[in-house]
Amino acid sequence: MPAGAYHIYQHLIGEPKTYELQGRTEKYTSPLNAWGGIPVTLVEGQTASLKDFIEYSASDLEVTVHDARGAPVHGATLRVRDRMSEAWRQVAEGPTTLSNAAHPTPFPPAVRVREGHAKLPSIRADRLELVVELDDGRMYPFTVSVAPPGPLALQLPVGGDNR
């Protein structure tokens, strides 16, 4: 990849756990579905070191959604966009197969926006791709920097959806 600033997105990651077994402490990683992206800068000729995704804490993210005039949005769904889950959705809906889809990636959170408010679960910093889908079918994509627990304020643009 060329040098530059990027974000690495993740989902289906783990949370460190320990347990006692016959007097020994064993460590393992328990599955956790969490979404978000972390920043990374690639410098030509240098190795980039990243923290393990486990080291970024996950929490719920409070979101407010307003229309172009500033009024709270009613009748909408807020979705986290996750390209891996989109591939698995295609497998689930068929007829495509992806190594027989033995362990499908879970679909990312989709929550209802009520009186302009929503809460997304299991969000890790720093970057998210979101879509606000109104009940009438209009869709508004957002790429945002987040800092759970938020709040994150989204305002729909003037002039219709951006499919």
pLDDT higher than threshold 70 for residue 4? yes
Domain extent at residue 47: 4-54
- Choose between 144 and 125: higher pLDDT: 144
d(CA 133, CA 153): 16
Residue 124 belongs to some domain of the structure:
yes
Segment 85-123, tens digit of pLDDT: 555 566 666 665 555 444 445 556 789 999 999 998 878
Residue 161 belongs to some domain of the structure:
no
Residue 128 belongs to some domain of the structure:
yes
Tell me, yes or no, whether 68 and 146 share the same domain.
yes
Q: Measured on CA atoms in the order 99, 128, 153, 158, is the torsion positive or negative?
A: negative
Tell me, yes or no, whether 61 and 50 share the same domain.
no
| Total of domains in the chain | 2
The model's pTM is 0.67
Tell me, yes or no, whether 41 and 71 share the same domain.
no
Tell me, yes or no, whether 76 and 19 share the same domain.
no
Tell me, yes or no, whether 44 and 105 share the same domain.
no
User: Within 10 Å of residue 67's Cβ, how many Cβ atoms?
Assistant: 18
Most confident of 14-18, 23-27, 88-92: 23-27
Residue 116 belongs to some domain of the structure:
yes
Tell me, yes or no, whether 112 and 44 share the same domain.
no
Q: Measured on CA atoms in the order 10, 15, 16, 20, is the torsion positive or negative?
A: negative
pLDDT higher than threshold 60 for residue 40? yes
Segment 132-143, tens digit of pLDDT: 999 999 999 998
Residue 160 belongs to some domain of the structure:
no
HSE, side-chain direction, 13 A CA sphere, residue 72: 10
CATH number at residue 75: 2.60.40.1120
Residue 145 belongs to some domain of the structure:
yes
Most confident of 25-29, 36-40, 71-75: 71-75
Tell me, yes or no, whether 62 and 138 share the same domain.
yes
Tell me, yes or no, whether 78 and 124 share the same domain.
yes
pLDDT attached to residue 153: 95
Average pLDDT, the chain: 77
Instruction: Return the amino acid letter for 32.
Output: L
Segment 113-129, tens digit of pLDDT: 999 999 988 787 678 88
CA angle, 132 then 133 then 138, to 5°: 115
